[in-house]
Structure 1
Amino acid sequence: MKGLFPALLALCAFLLLAACSPGGGDPSRNLPDVAALQQAFVGAVERAVPAVVNIRTVTRYPLRGPSGPRSGREEIQDYLRDMLEENGGFRENSLGSGVIVGEDGLIVTNEHVILDADEIVVRLADRSEYRAKVIGADSRTDIALLRIQPSRKLPVVVLGDSSRLRVGEWAIAVGNPFGLESTVTVGVISATGRTDPGNDSVSELIQTDASINPGNSGGPLLNTRGEVIGINSSMVSAGQGIGFAIPINTVLAIEEELARSGTVRRGWLGVGIQPLTGDLAESFGARGEAGVLVNRVFPDSPASAGGLRGGDIVIAFNGAAVKGVKEFQKQVASASPGDPVTLEILREGKRMSARAVVAEMDAPAPRRASKKVPLDPWGLYVTGIPRKVLRGMEIEGGVEVATADPSGPAGRGGVREGDILLRINREPVTGIAAYRKILAKLPAGKMVSVLVLREGGQMYLAFRNKDR
């Protein structure tokens, strides 16, 4: 019922606008329009739902500690665990959604839906179930490709063109939130070209206010023709009506590579870049120019071999203009490893060219879901830092954020995994004990300031402490 509320509001708004238009005073004149709109939603859903699947995963976590002498109580606990779970571990189940893109059993979903899964079960619309295997997965775009072995040809989704989306168009999200199969919610395209702050991907996302909840991940975002324009991926849990979907054009490109090789190869140059502001352009003798500013060149990288330097301004990549950071990242990532590329640069106000051979971007480190980690009242799990490391970093103390819940007080305030907390309300954090002591005495509901060390630089963050 909650999913119907936004749709009812939208329908009321439609009727109000119709009533305000010329001739809107005649209700009978507007009824056919409302009926047509309603039928468009119904037709879109009926067209897509047969190709939407439920994905159930099982992840096993070992429970046994180090081997060695066991007390009588521990032996009893081990026996009970073995009775409850034959594999001697803890089973965790999770749910997600997916879409059938091949009638022979090819299914697209989110990478995070099947992350670390030991077992994947796909349930079709007719409630038949199949075990699935992972053909390939790409964490940078959060896309995974699965295959099942059905006994018949399966219905497939109809694919749209996400490059033609316009803000304000209707959007229909289909999935299995909280295990409620084939749930439909309605909204609009709120924005395009968004980036996900929780992912290092350079791909752009669709923002929608169609309700996306846990379990919707991997399901389709539809237009009113029933065409898939995106794959639902995430939501902002701290807000309302802010969900994201991966554009279907991006999904198709990744799907092709995963189906071909099981992985995605991306180009890498080995440069650090930043936006070229007007002030920076003028200070580097490039007033009025567009491009990106190189602030770092990694040793033994393609950029270093090609002669790039810090302070260079890249204005073109293989003849195509560089308009900004995201565009340049896309251009480099889309280049095939081993290919030679030409960069047009500005150096001390002079135009010149540099050639480099693109290397392959390292795959991101495997992401192990930290679902069992106990979080403190700030939504953090912190670890101590060895004294030797502290001396090498030239800091006196601190704790490292190993896990940060984005919806927790600290996560909403901007604290990220990998941050080192140095001070809380100007009080030094010398270690874990000091951190816990400071947290325990902070007044509930009050603003706090935190000094963090992030990527070699320090910054202050402020957020409100959790209420008791």
Structure 2
Amino acid sequence: MIERVSLKFLRRTLIASGATVALFTGFAVGPVLLSGGAIAQEINPTSVAPPSGAPMSFADLIERVRPAVVSISVRQRPGASAPTPEGLPPGFEEFFRGRPGQPGGAAPTSLGSGFFIDQNGTIVTNHHVIEGAEEITIRTSDGRDIRADIVGSDQATDVAVLRVRGGGRFQYVTFDDASHVRVGDWVVAVGNPFGLDGTATAGIVSAIGRRDAGSSAYVDYLQIDAPINRGNSGGPAFDLRGNVIGVNSAIFSPTGGSVGIGFAIPANTANQVVQQILRDGRVTRGWIGVSIQGLDEDLAQSLGLDDARGALVGSVVADGPAAAAGLHQGDVILSLDGRRIEDNRDLTQRIGAASVGQSVRLEVLRNGARRTVTARLRERPSDEVLAASDRPEPTTPQIAPSQPGVAQSSLGLSVRPLSQADRTRFELGANAGGLLITSVDASSDAATKFIQAGDVILQAGGRAVRTPQELATAADAARTAGRPLLLQIDGRGGRRFVAVDVSAE
């Protein structure tokens, strides 16, 4: 019934589209006699030249590159499920799912795409395509099924490298430097959507440097509108010269199918990862041992900065490189080796690209004064190790009516000192300061910044607070200075800094 309705709708759409084409396409016209003796013009379609730079056909390009593109079938370990990276925006997850596990306890399988980058059978694909693999089979464009092994993979960028068993000679393609790619350039995707080997689609580069297309802090994605679907994961995106400018990795899709919003890992990013895997078998990144957050205009103003560039240190890992260098919680990292830091993502990428053991100079802002520290980088631990070391979010405390807070009218909230039970819940020391928020005015600036009852204020204006009066004093000082009040908050959203307007009396 669904298919029948869809076909009727399609027919109606095509009929309406046909009328529109007749009205608006520039056709040559000749005379035609209509009923009633009126004279019309005979419609003679003329050829229309493509826009400047556009090919009449992509056939030659696709014929040249298709032999280098492979389909990948992965049988996963028993008990495994098709992986879905965490932290994706809504609508992205569907692209990462392979075929569901077969009934009766059979091992789950997933499908993806990949491409040869040398004649000896080295293949590039996505990490999520081969994650949990027990057996990997690639199918070439001429229909051969060949087993392949994992050389290495990198979850952080979603790039993996395979090599076929037994060697051979294969047609291959090469990475291009995606830095020259511009919005509006043509792009051709070849892959294995829904198991349909060798499917080619075309479109344009819709945007570059997308940072909100996935969970990776190390990838600024290309956005393309060439239709890609499940199974295109790991396949190449080509320019008109047949060079790989991206590795297809994700789509935004409310329905699970293509809606013209796809994302590819830029070739220069992917190639750097591939070369390190081929050289070392794995990817290593520099690490300084801090958690950081970005700056907005309010945070920058509360810190006395002229603009919102830099990275705010939220916490420092004990015994890590940053702790050894003397970095403190609340510092703002302004530059790395003399080059300005644009934001927290810029710092993450530049530290990650640095060599393990390298010493870096960091210019930081602390309490309004600038200073320089030197940190010796270590190897970044795995995502699993970092996740295991994260402090679990505290549970929401029950705020008894008998424990009302002291109103802070300029902040639009009420607070009370911490009890010993509060300190235990938030994993604070027995003598740690802090104020528990007992209520928040829904119309306040604090509420718009997701501060909630049950959160704890650890610092105000860069100083620890223990009493409501200390908080009020910090708010008065910020108001006198004509800037928002910088608060360090601990709660369900994790530990973070927030700048709150205190202009109201």
TM-score after normalising by structure 2: 0.61
Q: CA-to-partner distance for each residue in 1:162-203, whole Å, 9 max, x for gaps?
A: 111111222211101111011112222111111355424321
Per the alignment, in what secondary structure is the counterpart of residue 342 of structure 1? Answer: strand
Per the alignment, in what secondary structure is the counterpart of residue 108 of structure 2? Answer: strand
Per the alignment, in what secondary structure is the counterpart of residue 218 of structure 2? Answer: coil
Q: In the alignment, what sits opposite 2:62? A: 45
Per the alignment, in what secondary structure is the counterpart of residue 126 of structure 1? Answer: coil
Shift in Å, 1:208:
1.4
Q: Does 1:212 align with 2:251?
A: no
Please tell me whether the aligned partners of residues 104 and 150 of structure 1 are also in contact (alpha carbons under 8 angstroms): no
1:299-338 matches, cutoff 5 A: 299-338=318-357
Please tell me whether the aligned partners of residues 134 and 145 of structure 1 are also in contact (alpha carbons under 8 angstroms): yes
Q: In the alignment, what sits opposite 1:361? A: 380
Shift in Å, 1:320:
1.5
Residue number among 174, 177, 182 corresponding to 1:166 in the alignment: 182
Residue number among 244, 262, 279 corresponding to 2:298 in the alignment: 279
CA gap of 1:242–1:34, structure 2 versus 1, over 3 A, is closer
Q: Does 1:125 align with 2:141?
A: yes
Q: Does 1:346 align with 2:362?
A: no
Per the alignment, in what secondary structure is the counterpart of residue 159 of structure 1? Answer: coil
CA distance in structure 1 between the aligned counterparts of 2:213 and 2:184, rounded to whole angstroms: 23
CA distance in structure 2 between the aligned counterparts of 1:93 and 1:120, rounded to whole angstroms: 10
Q: CA-to-partner distance for each residue in 1:76-121, whole Å, 9 max, x for gaps?
A: xxxxxxxxx9xx9622222111010010010000011111010001
Q: Does 1:256 align with 2:272?
A: no
Q: Which amino acid aligns with 2:237?
A: L
CA distance in structure 2 between the aligned counterparts of 1:17 and 1:242, rounded to whole angstroms: 28
Per the alignment, in what secondary structure is the counterpart of residue 222 of structure 2? Answer: strand
CA distance in structure 2 between the aligned counterparts of 1:241 and 1:268, rounded to whole angstroms: 37
Q: In the alignment, what sits opposite 1:147? A: 163
CA distance in structure 1 between the aligned counterparts of 2:57 and 2:175, rounded to whole angstroms: 17
Q: CA-to-partner distance for each residue in 1:432-451, whole Å, 9 max, x for gaps?
A: xxxxxxxxxxxxxxxxxxxx
Q: State which drifts further: 97-106 or 285-294.
A: 285-294
Q: CA-to-partner distance for each residue in 1:50-70, whole Å, 9 max, x for gaps?
A: 10001111123159xxxxxxx
Please tell me whether the aligned partners of residues 314 and 344 of structure 1 are also in contact (alpha carbons under 8 angstroms): yes
Please tell me whether the aligned partners of residues 217 and 349 of structure 2 are also in contact (alpha carbons under 8 angstroms): no
CA gap of 1:305–1:35, structure 2 versus 1, over 3 A, is closer
CA gap of 1:215–1:347, structure 2 versus 1, over 3 A, is same
CA gap of 1:311–1:126, structure 2 versus 1, over 3 A, is same
Q: Does 1:455 align with 2:474?
A: no
CA gap of 1:165–1:62, structure 2 versus 1, over 3 A, is closer
Shift in Å, 1:338:
1.4
CA distance in structure 1 between the aligned counterparts of 2:493 and 2:267, rounded to whole angstroms: 34
Shift in Å, 1:161:
2.2
CA distance in structure 1 between the aligned counterparts of 2:63 and 2:110, rounded to whole angstroms: 26
1:49-448 matches, cutoff 5 A: 49-61=66-78, 90-149=106-165, 152-195=168-211, 198-238=214-254, 240-288=259-307, 290-365=309-384, 393=425
Shift in Å, 1:293:
2.0
Please tell me whether the aligned partners of residues 275 and 293 of structure 1 are also in contact (alpha carbons under 8 angstroms): yes
Shift in Å, 1:258:
0.5
CA gap of 1:455–1:289, structure 2 versus 1, over 3 A, is closer
Please tell me whether the aligned partners of residues 50 and 56 of structure 2 are also in contact (alpha carbons under 8 angstroms): no
CA distance in structure 1 between the aligned counterparts of 2:24 and 2:319, rounded to whole angstroms: 62
Q: In the alignment, what sits opposite 1:440? A: none
Shift in Å, 1:299:
1.6
CA distance in structure 1 between the aligned counterparts of 2:136 and 2:241, rounded to whole angstroms: 31
State how many pairs are aligned: 346
CA distance in structure 1 between the aligned counterparts of 2:356 and 2:137, rounded to whole angstroms: 35
Q: CA-to-partner distance for each residue in 1:370-409, whole Å, 9 max, x for gaps?
A: xxxxxxxxxxxxxxx9xxxx996479xxxxxxxxxxxxxx
Per the alignment, in what secondary structure is the counterpart of residue 178 of structure 1? Answer: helix
Gaps in structure 1 of 5+ consecutive residues: 21-25, 64-84, 367-384, 396-421, 423-451, 458-468
CA distance in structure 1 between the aligned counterparts of 2:269 and 2:193, rounded to whole angstroms: 24
CA distance in structure 1 between the aligned counterparts of 2:200 and 2:143, rounded to whole angstroms: 18
Gaps in structure 2 of 5+ consecutive residues: 1-9, 15-19, 28-43, 81-101, 386-394, 396-421, 428-453, 455-490, 497-505
Please tell me whether the aligned partners of residues 70 and 115 of structure 2 are also in contact (alpha carbons under 8 angstroms): yes
CA gap of 1:246–1:289, structure 2 versus 1, over 3 A, is closer
CA distance in structure 1 between the aligned counterparts of 2:156 and 2:130, rounded to whole angstroms: 14
Q: Which amino acid aligns with 1:230?
A: G
Please tell me whether the aligned partners of residues 173 and 219 of structure 1 are also in contact (alpha carbons under 8 angstroms): yes
CA gap of 1:115–1:308, structure 2 versus 1, over 3 A, is same
Shift in Å, 1:291:
1.8
CA gap of 1:256–1:17, structure 2 versus 1, over 3 A, is farther
Q: Which amino acid aligns with 2:205?
A: I
Q: Which amino acid aligns with 2:60?
A: G
CA gap of 1:196–1:116, structure 2 versus 1, over 3 A, is farther
Please tell me whether the aligned partners of residues 120 and 169 of structure 2 are also in contact (alpha carbons under 8 angstroms): yes
Shift in Å, 1:302:
0.8
Shift in Å, 1:349:
2.7
Identity of aligned residues (%): 40
Shift in Å, 1:329:
0.9
RMSD: 3.8
CA gap of 1:454–1:345, structure 2 versus 1, over 3 A, is closer
Q: State which drifts further: 233-242 or 167-176.
A: 233-242
Q: Which amino acid aligns with 1:322?
A: I
